[in-house]
Each structure stands twice: as C-alpha cells, then as structure tokens.
Structure 1
Amino acid sequence: MEVLGLLIPLSAITMPIWIIWIVLHYKSKNKEFRSLNADESDQLDDLNSLAEKMAERIKTLETILDAESPEWRDNDAKRQT
C-alpha cells in the first residue's frame, strides 16, 4: 500500500511532463518533415523552370494555331462535349 501511495503522486507529476515532451517532439518532427532539403529544393526549381518553358511553348503553339486555323478552339470545344 505504501508503494501505491508513492506511485500515484509520482504519476501525477510525470504524466504532464511526458505529454508535453511527446507533443513537442512530434511537432518538431512535423516541421522537419515539411521543410525541403537542398536536393528537393533544386529539383523544385528545375521543375518550375521546366513548367515555365512549357507554358511559353504552349502559348507559342496556340499563337501559331490561331494564325493557321482560327476555328481550332471551336472544333476542340465541340469535340469535348
């Protein structure tokens, strides 16, 4: 009975400490997981520049198609419906 009397106050003191530690631990792990490392950042920059080049190419192709065949947008809309 003496051990139980000591165990309850000890648990009451240590439980909040453990809970706070666990919350802070996983909060820092989540932050670490969300941040990009150098390789991922470089890859993201490469993909962004590739997307910008592709957007420019699409714009150029649409300009050419508008000059060559002005009704191409109408034909595409009809095919999709």
Structure 2
Amino acid sequence: MDMDLLIAPIIIFMIIVAPIWLILHYRSKRQVSQGLTDEEYTQLNDLIAKADKMAQRIDTLEAILDSEAPQWRSRDDGR
C-alpha cells in the first residue's frame, strides 16, 4: 500500500522533472566550460583599463596630499 502511493510521484518525476533537470544542468556545465564570450572579454578589458586609470588617479591624489598635508596618513578620523 505504501509503495502504491510512491509510484505516481516517482513516475512523474522521472518523466517530467528529471529530463528538464539534466538538460539544464548540462547546459550550464557547457556554458561554464566554454569560458568568456567576446563581449565578456571586452567588458573585462574595459574594467581592467578603468581600474588602472583609477589606480593612477589615486597615486596622483596621494602625492598631492603628501606634499600639501604630510600628516594626512596618520590622522585618525574616528574610525
């Protein structure tokens, strides 16, 4: 009797849910293994260029602060 109650959900799972699950699983595995697309690679290079430019700006600002307010690094602003 208990087994009869489990047969219908198992059959529904095997016919409907399992194939969809497998298809989606292997599709995502394939996308991960393919690596970056051309668009993602371009975006990554743009972000790298922006990060380099920001690092240069920070270095420039620190140099200005070092010359105008030499003690700025040692100030405690309550943090």
Judge same fold: TM > 0.5, yes or no: yes
With over 3 angstroms needed to count, the CA separation of the structure-2 counterparts of 1:42 and 1:80, relative to structure 1, is: farther
SS of corresponding position for 1:70? coil
| Paired residue total | 59
With over 3 angstroms needed to count, the CA separation of the structure-2 counterparts of 1:80 and 1:37, relative to structure 1, is: farther
Q: How far, CA to CA, are the matches of 1:80 and 1:59 in structure 2?
A: 24
Structure 1 or 2: more helix by fraction: 1
The alignment's C-alpha RMSD in Å is 2.6
Q: How far, CA to CA, are the matches of 1:31 and 1:54 in structure 2?
A: 35
Q: Give the TM-score normalised by the residue count of structure 1.
A: 0.58
Q: Which has the larger radius of gyration?
A: 1
How much has 1:36 moved relative to structure 2? 1.1
SS of corresponding position for 1:36? coil
Fraction of identical pairs, as percent = 39
With over 3 angstroms needed to count, the CA separation of the structure-2 counterparts of 1:47 and 1:80, relative to structure 1, is: farther
How much has 1:51 moved relative to structure 2? 0.2
- Specify the alignment match of 1:4 in structure 2: none
Gaps of 5+ in 2: 1-21
The one-letter code sitting in structure 2 at the alignment partner of 1:48 is I
Q: Which structure 1 residue ranges, 4+ long, deviate > 3 Å from structure 2?
A: 25-29
